[in-house]
Amino acid sequence: MSSRRRTSISVLCVAATTAALLGVGAGSATAAAEGDSPGCSTGVLPNVVMGSPDVKPGQALGVYLWHGSNGYSLRATHPGSKRVVIAGRLSASTGFSHITKVRFEKADSLTLSADHKTMTFRFTNYGYIDGINFSADCSRLMRVKIRINDAVASPRQIKLGKHRSNPTSNPFAIERSRPAPRPTPSDTATATIG
C-alpha cells in the first residue's frame, strides 16, 4: 500500500474511527501514545496526525501538519517559484504555547489571541518552506481551517501525519480519544484458592 494513500477521516478525528479507516488494529492507540505528549490526561491523538511526512521545498502545494515528539509542526510549500499565499486559523480548547517560527520572511505573519486559544498565520510562499512549530497544551480538540490564495483550500491540499492523509473537509478538527479507564484494585483482584 502506498505511503501517500488518501485516507478518509471524519471531521472529528477520533482515534478509534481513524484506526478503523486506516485498517489497523487496537494496538494503534498505544502506538499513538508513544509519540504523544507525556501526561496528557485529555486522551490520545489519532494515528493519522502522527509522524513527520518529511516535507521538502517544492513538493505538492499545500499545508503539511503532524505531531511528533516535540509537539505539532505545520509546513507550507508548493512547486515552482510563483507567489502563493497560504493562510490558516487554528483554535485549541486549552490553548497554544512553545510557538516557534520556521523560515519566516518579511511578508509572513503569525498572531496569537490574548487567551492563547486562537492562532492565525499567513505565509507568502515562493516554493520554499514556511512553517511553525507549537504545542496545543494537551487540548482535547483542535480546529483547523486553511486558505490558499484567498480561497478555502481543498482537503487534498492538506496532508496529515507521515502518510500525508487528507481530511474529508476543510475546516476540520483533530480530537483526542478518551484514555481507557484504569483498572481499580477490585477489577484486578484474584481469588485465593486454598
Would 194 be classed as within a structural domain? Answer: no
Distance, in Å, from the CA atom of 59 to the CA atom of 131, rounded to the nearest integer, reads 14
pLDDT by residue (tens digit) across 139-173?
A: 999 999 999 999 999 999 999 999 999 999 999 99
Count of CB atoms situated within 10 Å of the CB of 182: 6
Residue the block writes with cell 488518501: 6
Would 188 be classed as within a structural domain? Answer: no
Would 64 be classed as within a structural domain? Answer: yes
Distance, in Å, from the CA atom of 23 to the CA atom of 16, rounded to the nearest integer, reads 11
**Whole-prediction pTM value?**
0.74
Would 156 be classed as within a structural domain? Answer: yes
Would 145 be classed as within a structural domain? Answer: yes
pLDDT of residue 68: 92
Would 167 be classed as within a structural domain? Answer: yes
Cβ atoms of 47 and 26 within 8 Å: the answer is no
Sign of the alpha-carbon torsion through 75, 49, 154, 117: negative
Q: Exposed e or buried b for every residue in 39-64, given b needs 16+ CB within 10 A?
A: ebebbbbbbbbbbebebeeebebbbb
Whether 83 shows a pLDDT value over 70: the answer reads yes
Count of CB atoms situated within 10 Å of the CB of 108: 20
Would 104 be classed as within a structural domain? Answer: yes
Residue 53 vs residue 20, higher pLDDT: 53
Q: How many domains does the chain have?
A: 1
- What's at 173, amino acid-wise? A
Cβ atoms of 87 and 146 within 8 Å: the answer is yes
CATH of the domain at 111: 2.60.40
Whether 16 shows a pLDDT value over 60: the answer reads no
Residue the block writes with cell 496569537: 112
Instruction: Supply φ then ψ for residue 104, to 5 degrees.
Output: -70, 140
- For the segment 33-39, the average pLDDT, to the nearest whole number, is 44
Query: What spatial distance separates the first Cα and last Cα of the chain, rounded to whole Å?
Result: 55
Would 126 be classed as within a structural domain? Answer: yes
Name the grid cell of 100: 516557534
Whether 193 shows a pLDDT value over 80: the answer reads no
Residue 135 vs residue 191, higher pLDDT: 135
> Could you tell me the residue range of the domain that residue 172 belongs to?
12-176
Distance, in Å, from the CA atom of 153 to the CA atom of 170, rounded to the nearest integer, reads 7
pLDDT by residue (tens digit) across 168-181?
A: 999 999 999 876 56
Residue 154 vs residue 20, higher pLDDT: 154
Distance, in Å, from the CA atom of 44 to the CA atom of 28, rounded to the nearest integer, reads 10
